[in-house]
Amino acid sequence: MKQHDVIGVGLGPFNLGLAALLDSVEGVDALFFDDKDSFVWHPGLMLPDAEIQVPFLADLVTLADPTSRYSFLNYLHGQGRLYRFYFREHFHVLRREFEAYCRWVSEQLSSVRFGHRVDAIRPTPDGWSVWARGVEYRAKHVVVGVGCLPSLPEFATGVTHSSGYLHVRDQALAAGSVAVIGSGQSAAEIFADVLEYGRGRLDWFTRSAGFLPMEYSKLGLEHFSPEYTAYFHALPEDKRDALRAGQDLLYKGMSAETSERIFDLLYTRSIDGEPDVRYSARCELRGVDGRHLSFHQLDQGIDFTHEADVTILATGYEPAPIPVPGHLLARDTAGRPVVELDYRLRLADGSPSTLFVQNGELHTHGVGAPDLGLGAHRNAVIVNALAGREVYAVRERNVFQSFGISAA
């Protein structure tokens, strides 16, 4: 049986970027599987005007290889839209345009296989056995990029998560009352959409301190760098958890533009009278029973109830299970997989690992793990490990800030 050098499981932006960066690397035989029929990216939140929250340079390849033919600028050039993008003078890209770009890349790569669900990954004496559509494939290395799953409270079964908003959008816009729970970008985009196009009462609740913008200052953005990743990874587990608990607004807030849009919509509606809209922070959802929502105001210690015809929970995501027998992986004290600095999953028996993970290392690598801006860097590290040589330069110094103090 033929043995590939690497098999990628999952084809979101991160593993697709890995496939693109590997495409020109001689001596590395790669294959990538995904169960979807073609590339799609958050289809339930693909609102017409929604933008990705990073600049266009954070495409699949540019920050590792700006000469790659799979760059976003080369995509625009091939589509005859480069001058239009230039005249637009906007650093951020529409979400549906980024999806179209990723689909364009995927259609050019001979290493990708859509419509191939991976059912099992098992160890072999010299690598891994990957089963897809009833066929066994062998590889020396495996890179798991299976993404995240919607996170919902146990009591909220049957309630729509923000990831499926477009499936209930018509119902929400026509409803007599809508409640949105959460205060991140997804919640804000949904609230703005219902505020602009809906016709009923609209309420917005969050248990967070407020409806706050994501940190987007230039010095704050330096946390999304290889240097901060290395600093965070070197900290003890308890320090990492404590530090990350206070960093929500580095990666969970809303964009300033969306916040401005919401306020402007409210202001416009107030010309004709007070809008039938309420938004309240420090309100924790504790129960759902049909139309009835139970809350607790965290500062005042008051329980209260609310009714809504449609409720949307923008309660975030959690890592999808890694499709590898659990006993093979080393775990930390919280039961999470241990991920080395070069994105290898540590094996329980201490043997050298040839298993890598994409966007499953928030607890070990910090807030940059899910960020598109660090995807190309992570893939450069992985490519170099797969090839056994420096294919892409991984620079130690990228930002001005110094994180931590050298022991010297």
Mean pLDDT of 284-288: 97
pLDDT over threshold 70, residue 367: yes
Per-residue model confidence (pLDDT) at position 138: 97
Nearest to 47 by CA among 80, 7, 102, 96: 96
Among 57-61, 148-152, 187-191, the minimum mean pLDDT is found in: 148-152
Q: How far apart are CA 235 and CA 239, in angstroms?
A: 6
Regarding the domain delimited by 152-214+252-313, which CATH topology (the fold level of the hierarchy) does it fall under?
FAD/NAD(P)-binding domain (3.50.50)
Domain boundaries, the chain: 3-147+320-387, 152-214+252-313
Say if residue 408's pLDDT is above 70: no
pLDDT exceeds 90 at position 271: yes
Q: For 202-238, how does the pLDDT look when each residue is reduced to its tens digit (9 = 90+)?
A: 999 999 999 999 888 999 999 999 999 999 999 999 9
Cα angle value 311/186/287 (rounded, 5°): 30
Q: HEC string of the chain?
A: CCEEEEEEECCCHHHHHHHHHHCCCCCCCEEEECCCCCCCCCHHHCCCCCEEEEECCCCCCCCCCCCCCCCHHHHHHHHCCHHHHHHHCCCEEEHHHHHHHHHHHHHHCCCEECCCCEEEEEEECCEEEEEECCEEEEEEEEEECCCEEECCCHHHCCCEEHHHHHHHHHHHHHCCEEEEECCCHHHHHHHHHHHHHCCCEEEEECCCCCCCECCCCHHHHCCCCHHHHHHHHHCCHHHHHHHHHCCHHHHCCECHHHHHHHHHHHHHHHCCCCCCEEEECCEEEEEEECCEEEEEECCCCEEEEEECCEEEECCCEEECCCCCCHHHECECCCCCECECCCCEECECCCCCCCEEECCCCHHHHCCCCCCHHHHHHHHHHHHHHHHCCCCCCCCCCCCCCCCCCCCC
The domains spanning 3-147+320-387 and 152-214+252-313 adopt the same CATH topology: yes
State the burial class of residue 334 (Cβ atoms within 10 Å of its Cβ: 0-12, 13-18, 19+).
Answer: exposed
Q: Note if the pTM is more than 0.85.
A: yes
Name every residue whose Cβ is closer than 8 Å to that of residue 96 and which is 6 or more positions away in sequence: 46, 48, 50
pLDDT tens digits for range 307-346: 999 999 999 999 899 999 989 999 999 999 999 999 999 9
pLDDT exceeds cutoff 60 at 407: no
**Per-residue pLDDT tens over the stretch 4-45:** 999 999 999 999 999 999 999 999 999 999 999 999 999 999
Do the beta carbons of residue 145 and residue 343 sit within 8 Å? no
DSSP-assigned states of every residue in 48-71: TT-EEEEETTSSSSTTT-TT-TTS
> For the segment 296-308, what is each residue's pLDDT rounded down to a tens digit?
999 999 999 999 9
Mean pLDDT, the chain, integer:
95
pLDDT computed for residue 216 by the predictor: 86
% of the chain beyond a pLDDT of 70: 100
pLDDT digits (tens, 9 = 90+) for 78-128: 999 999 999 999 999 999 999 999 999 999 999 999 999 999 999 999 999
pLDDT for 10: 97
pLDDT in tens, 167-185: 999 999 999 999 999 999 9
pLDDT tens digit sequence for 38-86: 999 999 999 988 999 899 999 999 999 999 999 999 999 999 999 999 9
**Class (C level, CATH) for 3-147+320-387:** alpha beta
| Owner of token pair 């029929």 | 37
Are the C-beta atoms of residues 295 and 285 closer than 8 Å to each other? Answer: yes
